[in-house]
Amino acid sequence: MFFSSIRSSLRRTTSLAHTRPFSHTSRCLQAEILDKVIDSEGLSPTGRIRNIAIIAHVDHGKTTLVDQLLRQSGTIKQLSPTEQLMYSGASTSSSSSSTTMTADSQIEDGFITRLMDSNDLERERGITILSKCTSIEYNGHLINIVDTPGHADFGGEVERILSMVDGVALIVDATEGPMTQTRFVLSKALARGLKPLVVLNKADRPTSRPQQVESDLFDLFATLGATDEQADYPLLYASAKQGWAQQDPPVLQTASESLNPSLVATSTTMAPLFDLIMSHVPPPTHLSRTGPFSMLTVQIEADPYVGMLYLGRVQSGTLRIGDNLVALNSEGKKVGDGKVKKILGRRGLDRVEKDVAGAGEIVSIAGIKCVAGGSGVNMTLVHPDGWGATGPEPLPTTPIDPPTISIHVFANDSPLAGREGTKLTSQVIRDRIYKEAETNVALTVLPGPTSESLELRGRGVLHLGVLLETLRREGFELSVGPPKAVMIPCPEKNPEGTPRGVWLEPIEECTVVVREEYAGGVVQKLTMRKGDMRSYEAGDPEEGWVKIVMDVPARGLIGYMAGEFGNDTHGQGTINHIFKGYEEFKGALDTGRNGALIAMTSGESSGYSMAPLQARGTLFIHPQTQVYPGMVIGESSKTSDLYINPCIKKQLTNIRAAAADEKIVLSSPRVMGLEESMAYMGDDELVEVTPNSVRLRKKDLEGAKRGKVAKTSPKK
C-alpha cells in the first residue's frame, strides 16, 4: 500500500512537469501532492520544507518580489473587474489572516499589491517595518518566506528572524548595487553560516549596470569574510515589477520604429527563482523529530479570540494540541507555562489550524501564559519531560546590536493637555511602553530622570518615531525630550590606545548618493558635524551622480536627515546610514540652528497678527491655531529667542483707517512632522505629541524662569 501511494505521487509529479507553469491545473496538483506526502501523524516531511528570508537594502524591491511569488504560485487570486469595484478593506480583512488588506491598498493587473505591508504606517511611508511570514506551495513542497525590513533603524527585525530560516535571498538593485543595509543584513546572514542566493532586481531598467554591481557584490562578500561555499553564490537577474527571473542578463534591443534601446528578457515567470530556492536552500533535515519539543519564539502576535500567539520554528521534537509547555528566558529561568490550545501554520496569507507540528515547521502557538514582564521574543518553549537529569535548557539566541539614540518620555503637562487624547497618565504610558519592549527587541527601556518619566533607547530617530506615532494613534498624549546619542565609558582594557575615563560615542557609516552639483554642500554640512570622508566615487559624467561614504557621529545625523538634507539636494539625493562602532567623543557640534519664535500668550493665532511677524523668521503654524505661552511657533532669523504675540485680532470699528483694505499675504508655514520635530528641537525644548497634533514647546513654560536660559541655540 505504501509503495502504491509513492508510485501514485510520482505519476502526479510527472504529469505536473508537463502542465503549464502556475496554471490552475498545476496549482491543484501541487496542493494534492503536498497533501499526499503528509504522514499518518499529519506532519510534512522535513525534506519538502524550505525556510527562506528575503533581505535587502531599503527600496530594492523585497515586498514587490514577494507579491510576485504569491501571485504566480496561485496563493492569491486575481480580482475580477466587479470585485475590484466592490473591493473594500473591511470586507477582505479577517482576524484569521496574518496580513490585513486595507481600503487604501493599490490594485495592479487585478492583484492587490504590497500584501506583506499590512501595517497602516507601512503603507503610508512606503517601507517595511515589521518582519512577516508567509508560505507558498511549489511542486509539492512548502516554502516559508519571511519578508524583512530594509531600513537600518529596523535592523532588529532582521536579526531575530534569521534563527528560523535555512537560507536567504539577497535582493540587490541592478543600478544602485550594494548599499549600507546590504552590508548589514548580509553580514548577519554570513555570521550564522547561511548560504545566500543573489537576485539582481530591476534588471530591466536602462540604467542597470549588472557587471559593475556583480563586481562590487563579490568584493562585499570577500570583505565580510564569506567562506568559499558562501562566496560561490548563484545569481539571477529579475524584474519584480514585471514578474520574471532568469539566469542570463536581459538582451539590449532596439525596435525598428524607435531609436530608444530596451532590455528584453527571455523569461516570463518567476519559475527560475522557485527552482533555485528548491535546489540551493537546504531543507531542515538536520532537525530531529524524535526528541522532546523545543522552539525559540521570534515574534509575538495578538489574536482577539485565543490571546497571545508565539511564532517560531520548531527546533526539535513534535507538538500536539493539549501538550503542556514551559517558557524559559535566555538565562534558563521559568517565566511561564501553559497547555497548547491552538497550533497555527501558514498557508499563503492565512493561518490554518494544525493538530500537530514537527521540527522544521514554522508555527504559532496559543495557550502559554507568562508572568508579568516575562513574555517576549527570544523565549524558549520546551516540553518539560525527556531532557534527562540536566533538565531543559534555553536555545541560544543571536545578540542584538546596541541602541544608539535615546529620548525621554513624559506625560503631557501643557495647557492643552487632555483635549485630544484618552490615555494621559504616566502609569498608562509606562505600561504600554513596557509591553512594546517585550516584542521590539531593538528597544531598550530605562528609568527616566524623574519617577514619572522613561528613557527609550533605539536604533535611530525613525525607529523611535514609529513607536511614538503608534502610541498617538492609540490615543496617548505624551511629551518627548530631544534625542541624544547613547554614550558609553571607555572600557578598562582598550587595545586601541584610547585613554581611560573618556566617553565613546556611536559612529554611523553614512552613504550619500547625490547629484554632483549638490555634493559640495552635503560634504560641507557633514564635515561641520564632525564627519570624516572615506570615499568619493563619481559615476557616469553624463548622468552626474556621485556616491559619498563618510563616518559621522550619530548625533550629527539627528538634525540633518529629517529635512535639511532634502533642502540641500533639492530632493535629488538619498542618504542612508548604518551603525559602525564606538569611537572617542569628538566634541560639541554646531548645527547652526537659530533661535526660536515663542508665543507669549494663549489664544487662537490670526493672520492679521502673523503677517508682520513673518519678517522675524519662519513660522511653523497656520492661522486659527491654538497656542499657549512657551509654545515654539517659528524659527527666528537671529540666534536669540524672541517672544511674540500671534493672537492679536483686528479691531472692528466704524472708523475707516488708511490701511483698512490692505490685503494680508501669508507665506506657507514650515509644518514639521513628528520625526522632523524631534530632530529639530533643542536641549531646552520638548515635543508635545497628541492624537491630532504635534507641537514644539519649551520645557519650562514660565517666562521668568525661561528668561534665565542662554539665548543662543543649544549645541547638540
| pLDDT tens-digit map of 83-106 | 667 654 433 333 333 444 444 457
Map out the domains of the chain as residue ranges.
46-79+108-251+264-280, 294-382, 503-584, 596-651+662-710
Give residue 263's pLDDT: 76
Give residue 39's pLDDT: 55
Dihedral angle over CA of 352, 358, 362, 367, nearest 10: 70
Task: Give yes or no for residue 110 having a pLDDT over 70.
Answer: no
Mean pLDDT of 501-515: 87
Say yes or no: domain 46-79+108-251+264-280 is CATH 3.40.50.2300.
no
| pLDDT tens-digit map of 129-159 | 778 888 888 888 899 998 888 777 777 778 7
Give residue 115's pLDDT: 67
CATH class of the domain whose range is 503-584: alpha beta
CA pair distance 592, 628, nearest whole angstrom:
27
| pLDDT tens-digit map of 593-637 | 789 999 999 999 999 999 999 999 999 999 999 999 999 999 999
CA pair distance 561, 613, nearest whole angstrom:
28
Residue 207 pLDDT class (50, 70, 90 cuts):
confident
Give residue 109's pLDDT: 66
Q: Match 505591508 to its residue by C-alpha cell.
A: 117
The secondary structure of 144-191, three-state, reads EEEECCCCHHHHHHHHHHHHHCCEEEEEEECCCCCCHHHHHHHHHHHH
Residue 568 pLDDT class (50, 70, 90 cuts):
confident
Q: In the beta sheet, which residues pair with residue 507?
A: 553, 581
Mean pLDDT of 262-274: 85
| pLDDT tens-digit map of 323-341 | 999 999 888 888 888 999 9
What values do phi and psi take at 13, rounded to 5?
-65, -40
| pLDDT tens-digit map of 281-312 | 999 999 999 889 999 998 888 777 888 889 99
DSSP 99: S
What value does the mean pLDDT of the chain take?
Answer: 81
Q: Which long-range contacts (CB under 8 A, 24 or more apart) does 224-232 make?
A: 224/183, 224/186, 224/187, 224/190, 225/190, 226/190, 227/190, 229/195, 230/190, 230/194, 230/195, 230/196
Task: Give yes or no for residue 18 having a pLDDT over 50.
Answer: no
Q: How far apart are the first and last CA of the chain?
A: 76
| pLDDT tens-digit map of 408-422 | 999 999 999 999 999
Cell of 134: 508567509
| pLDDT tens-digit map of 443-488 | 899 999 888 899 999 988 888 988 999 999 999 999 999 999 898 8
CA pair distance 430, 408, nearest whole angstrom:
12
Radius of gyration from C-alpha coordinates of the chain: 29
**Percent share of the chain, pLDDT over 70:** 81
SS3 15: helix
pTM over 0.85: no
Task: Give yes or no for residue 666 having a pLDDT over 70.
Answer: yes
Assign a CATH topology to domain 294-382.
Elongation Factor Tu (Ef-tu); domain 3 (2.40.30)
- C-alpha closest to that of 45 among 33, 58, 55: 33
The residue type found at 660 is A
Structural contact between residues 455 and 434, judged by C-beta atoms closer than 8 angstroms: no
Query: Is there a shared CATH topology between the 503-584 domain and the 596-651+662-710 domain?
Result: no
* Lowest mean pLDDT segment, chosen from 39-53, 68-82, 95-109, 527-541: 95-109
| pLDDT tens-digit map of 187-200 | 888 988 999 999 99
List, in order, residues 6 or more apart from 604 with CB less than 8 Å away. 624, 625, 626, 627, 647
| pLDDT tens-digit map of 350-409 | 888 999 999 999 999 999 988 765 666 788 999 988 888 888 888 888 777 788 899 999
Q: How far is CA 59 from the centre of its chain?
A: 11
Question: Domain 596-651+662-710 sits in which CATH superfamily?
Answer: bipa protein (2.40.50.250)
Relative to beta strand 694-698, strand 631-636 is: antiparallel
Task: Give yes or no for residue 11 having a pLDDT over 50.
Answer: no
